[in-house]
Amino acid sequence: MRRVITYGTYDLLHWGHIRLLKRARALGDYLIVALSTDEINEFKGKKAYHSYQERKLMLESIRYVDLVIPESDWEQKRSDITKYEVDIFAIGDDWKGKFDYLNELCEVVYLPRTEGVSTTKIKRDLEKSAIRKKKD
């Protein structure tokens, strides 16, 4: 059984996230998602709209996801890979090169990001439409 792990915030779940999870799962037979807690989001300079529990519920409902664990520490990747006997670490290529150090423990795969969608873009577009509505 080839086990894959990926990490992320997965806020305001969108089709770019789903495409990442689908491709990550297709690299093996079992996909673990280490979901960023609110604490580590602060470390990443992010504030999620949905709580950790809400984001976890949504991820656990996705057919490509077999297990969701908390990502609460930036340095937990090595121990996760060992603990869960991971064969492949996969993540979007916006992180290209950043996790090459994990190569000593498992295969590291950077998957092309989906263009045209992001949580930030969704928030910005919604803000713009709300401002337009106010002006009308």
* CA quadruple 94, 113, 31, 105: dihedral sign: negative
CB-wise, 8 or 28, nearer to ligand C2G? Answer: 8
21 vs 133, which CB is nearer to ligand C2G? Answer: 21
State the amino acid at position 91 in one-letter form.
I
Catalytic annotation, residues = 44, 46
**Stretch of 60-68, 79-87, 91-99, 123-131 lying at the interface with ligand C2G (CB under 6 A):** 91-99
Closest CA to 91 of 112, 118, 66, 65: 112
Query: If binding is defined by CB under 6 A, does position 37 make contact with ligand C2G?
Result: no
Cα(28)–Cα(23) distance, rounded to whole angstroms? 9
* Residue from 35, 13, 12, 15 nearest 23 by CA: 15
Q: Is 52 in the site for ligand C2G (CB under 6 A)?
A: no
Among 3, 4, 5, 10, binds ligand C2G (CB under 6 A): 10
Min dist. Cβ of residue 60 to ligand C2G (A)? 16
